[in-house]
Amino acid sequence: DLAALRENSFHSARDYEGYTHRDILGTTIQAERTGSSMRLSTITGFLKWKTEDSTDLDYSPLPIVTRTNAEEDFQFTQEVRVASVVPVKLSDAATLRWQSGIFLFTQNYQQDAVNTFSPYVFSQFIEFPVNQYSPVSQLDDFGLGVFGQGTVTLKEKLDLVAGMRVDYEDKNADLKTFFDPAIAPPTVVATEDSFSHVSPQFAVAYRFRPEYNVYATVGNGFKAGGFNPASPAGNEGYGEETTWNLEGGLKTLLANGRVALNSAVFFIDWNDMQLNVPNLTVPGQIYIANVGGASSKGVEFDLTARAAPGLDLYGTFGYTNATFSAGSTSVGLDVSGNEIPNTPDYTASVGIQYGRSLNTSMSAYGRVDVAFTGAFRYDDANLEGQDAYSLTNFRGGVRAKLFFAEGW
């Protein structure tokens, strides 16, 4: 309740302390072998986490509703990639660089959450506590992707890039929502769905000189659909999301390489955008839904300069206009033309860093940067938001061969 929090800033109320216990274990294993013409690399990763938490859900001094939540998840990923080490000569004026690979993942997720309502909350006739199990769920996912990309270089100036990725994902869901005592019928969903997509990408880059590079790219993006552990009846599943992405820009090196200046323009067109929306039937709960189309367009600039030995200056600026397309709806409301949540209209930063050697094995450094974030909205209805703000960061320290110490 942002209105109540803003009326009495920095204060919130609970009648129940609660707790959070979380365990996370994860690792990534990388291996690589390079031959005279090809490089084989593999990345194996897994992540296992579980969390148990209990909290006041009404955030008031009254004992209205509390929530106990237990979640557990295990993710495994494996990627194998083969790429050229040196360009393959196609002719006197053309060479080819390439890479291809396969990526797979599995995921097992379980959740058991209970909202406990005090007597008389649901009705003056329900004079006993009620437990709402929302949800008791299990999700099992499997995904496989195959990808490849090639870059043909003509006369060491023109790069022509073509790539493609093929994705397939299979998802199973076992979802239950019910009350104890049973004051309403339970909801039970056991279902399965699969998603597949072919995503092409094309790009072109031209080097007028080694220090001037202009490029353009167009690509198709894909995010599979899936199932919500908990959601209003009829919203258990959501569909896939796709995008078309266009970008063009200029990369330059000036002053004998001491100044780098880059600029870019971009446009993203979403279809069936997936968005987190509130579950109006269960307090404090969100779910994923397809809200319709959206677009984002903008420009970006960044500058890095070596002003003197050990002294670096840098700055960035980006402007974004991201809105929902006509006909987009969220939780039954028309959001056409509204801003996409959590998308600042601009971001910028400026900074300076200085470092110098103290001796042959030790150096000292200091850094100051200021980051600016424009205003943005919290929700798709654009009813609540955050004003523009800035953050100033200071950092300094000493580095040696075997240790470093710094403050910030």
* The two structure tokens encoding residue 178: 């019910």
Q: Report which residue type is found at 388.
A: A
SS3 at position 338:
coil
Q: Where are the alpha helices (DSSP H) in 118-261?
A: none
Q: Which two tokens stand for residue 252?
A: 């330059």
What letter does residue 273 receive in the DSSP assignment? -
The pTM of this model reads 0.85
The three state secondary structure string of 140-176 is EEEEEEEEEEEEEEECCCEEEEEEEEEEEEEEEEEEE
Q: Is residue 149 within 8 Å of 217, Cβ to Cβ?
A: no
Distant-in-sequence, close-in-space partners of 366: CB < 8 Å, separation ≥ 6? 353, 354, 355, 394, 395, 396
CA atoms within 13 A on the CB side of 313: 8
Cβ contacts of 397 within 8 Å, gap of 6 or more: 364, 365, 404, 405, 406, 407
C-alpha–C-alpha distance, residues 194 and 141, integer Å: 10
Computed from CA positions of residues 377, 383, 389, 393, in that sequence, does the dihedral angle turn out positive or negative? negative
Helix (H, G, I), strand (E, B) or coil at 195: strand
State the DSSP string of 83-120. EESSPEE-SSSEEEEEEEEEEEEEEEEEEEEEEEEPTT
Q: Check residue 1 and give its pLDDT.
A: 66
DSSP code, position 281: T
247-276 burial, b at 16+ Cβ within 10 Å, e below that, comes to: bbbebebeeeeebbebebebebbbebbbbe
pLDDT (tens digit per residue) in 293-328 = 999 999 999 999 999 999 999 999 999 999 999 999
Cα torsion 383, 384, 390, 393: sign: negative
Helix-, strand-, coil-residue percentages of the chain, each rounded to 5: 0, 70, 30
Q: How far apart are CA 370 and CA 353, in angstroms?
A: 12
Task: Render pLDDT for 39-87 as a digit per residue (tens, 0 to 9).
Answer: 999 999 999 999 999 999 888 888 999 999 999 999 999 999 999 999 9
Q: Give, for all 408 residues of the chain, the pLDDT tens digit.
A: 677 778 888 887 888 889 999 999 999 999 999 999 999 999 999 999 999 999 998 888 889 999 999 999 999 999 999 999 999 999 999 999 999 999 999 999 999 999 999 999 988 889 999 999 988 999 999 999 999 999 999 999 999 999 999 999 999 999 999 999 999 899 899 999 999 999 999 999 999 888 899 999 999 999 999 999 888 888 899 999 999 999 999 999 998 889 999 999 999 999 999 999 988 877 778 899 999 999 999 999 999 999 999 999 999 999 999 999 999 999 889 999 999 999 999 999 999 999 999 998 899 999 999 999 999 999 999 999 999 999 999 999 999 989 999 999
- The helices-and-strands tally (H runs, E runs) of the chain is 1, 25
d(CA 38, CA 216): 28
Return the half-sphere exposure (C-beta side, CA atoms, 13 A cut-off) of residue 116: 11
- Pairing verdict, β 259-271 and 274-278: unpaired
